[in-house]
A and B are shown apart, each in its own frame.
Chain A
Amino acid sequence: MRSPLVLEPLFHVGPVAVTEPVVVSWAILACLGGASALATRRLKLAPSRPQAALEILVDAIDAQIRDTLRNDPAPFRALIGSIFLFVLAANWSSLIPGVEPPTAHFETDAAIAAIVFVATVAFGLRSRGLAGYLATFAEPTWIMIPLNVIEQFTRTFSLIVRLFGNVMSGVFIVGVVLTLAGLLVPIPLMALDLLTGAVQAYIFAVLATVFIGAAVGEAETKHPSNDRGTA
């Protein structure tokens, strides 16, 4: 059986080898980007059906970010929402016959996690300033500095491995079952894959939110969210 850790190049553009996950990722990006460009071209105050659906989605993402961060979701909406939608679309792209989800390969996950890592540092620097951000590494005491620095990298690594392991194991198990029993038997496993894919996309987005929230801190909180009531 083909190793899930090795990638065969599909074709070459000059010296650059292009692999299947890259093509699928760009196709997903084009679909998501094109669809949202089309859907937001004529925004009206009284929304049409597609616009209403889009607003529900954005509202749900906003609510999740607000619940996690206790903060205004506006600066994080674009990043977190895009990560969630991309990972979800990538995990579910296995619904199209012949397409392997790009997140089942280490490199795609590493790229998304690298974006989260850079965004964490950037948001932290922007909200606390250089000195303030560096001071967060010395919390609760200065003895924790090495651990806090290591944690930055290990949690990014675990973000990569979690998504990779979950999606790849799903693809792998379906492949194994398919070689053992042909028709209909892999379908429940594929349905389970869809559930895992959705949960993993959600978890990836929530963890990215949590990391960014930890870097931004409570400093920016001016008005705590008012949707929690008195609880």
Chain B
Amino acid sequence: MNDLIPAVSIFAAAMAVGLGAIGPGLGEGRAVAAAMDAIARQPEAAGTISRTLFVGLAMIETMAIYCLVIALLVLYANPFVK
């Protein structure tokens, strides 16, 4: 029983990062594609578009970072592992 919790924790951490990166990955891909499209249509607005894009990407990326932090909490600060 005592070995089970660390094993499950490691698996859970891997799943958290692996599955949690899918959504933000798709979202960032769509955002970048849309920004590329916008810059191609309107090259003079490239500065504004890329600034907004960076901020938006940071927002989306935070979801994946949350998963990473949860995974680290599970690995290093797990309340169920003595």
Contacts and interface: CB of A to CB of B under 8 A. Distances in A.
A199 B54 contact: yes
Given A4-B72, A165-B69, A207 B55 contact: yes
B77 A67 contact: no
Given A162-B62, A164-B69, A165-B65, A203 B76 contact: no
Contact of A161 (B47, B54, B65, B76): B65
A6 interface: yes
Interface in B39-72: 44-45, 47-48, 51, 54-55, 58, 61-62, 65-66, 68-69, 72
Contacts of B10: none
Contacts of A67: 47-48, 51
Given A161-B69, A165-B69, A5 B76 contact: yes
A162 B55 contact: no
A162 B77 contact: no
Nearest to B67: A165
Interface of A: 3-6, 64, 67-68, 158, 161-162, 164-166, 168-169, 199-200, 202-203, 206-207, 210, 231
B38 interface: no
Contacts of A168: 72
Contacts of B66: 161, 165
B8 interface: no
A6 B76 contact: yes
A103 to B, nearest CB: 13
B73 interface: yes
Given A162-B58, A165-B65, A203-B55, 9 more contacts: A3-B72, A3-B77, A5-B72, A5-B73, A67-B47, A158-B62, A161-B66, A162-B62, A165-B69
A6 B48 CA distance: 40
28 contacts: A3-B72, A4-B72, A4-B76, A5-B72, A5-B73, A64-B51, A67-B51, A68-B51, A158-B62, A161-B62, A161-B66, A162-B58, A162-B65, A165-B62, A165-B65, A165-B66, A166-B61, A168-B72, A169-B68, A199-B58, A200-B58, A203-B54, A203-B55, A206-B54, A206-B55, A207-B55, A210-B55, A231-B45
Nearest to A158: B62
A177 B72 CA distance: 17
Contacts of B54: 199, 202-203, 206
A166 to B, nearest CB: 7
A84 to B, nearest CB: 13
A211 B72 CA distance: 29
Contacts of A210: 55
Contact of B65 (A5, A166, A206): A166
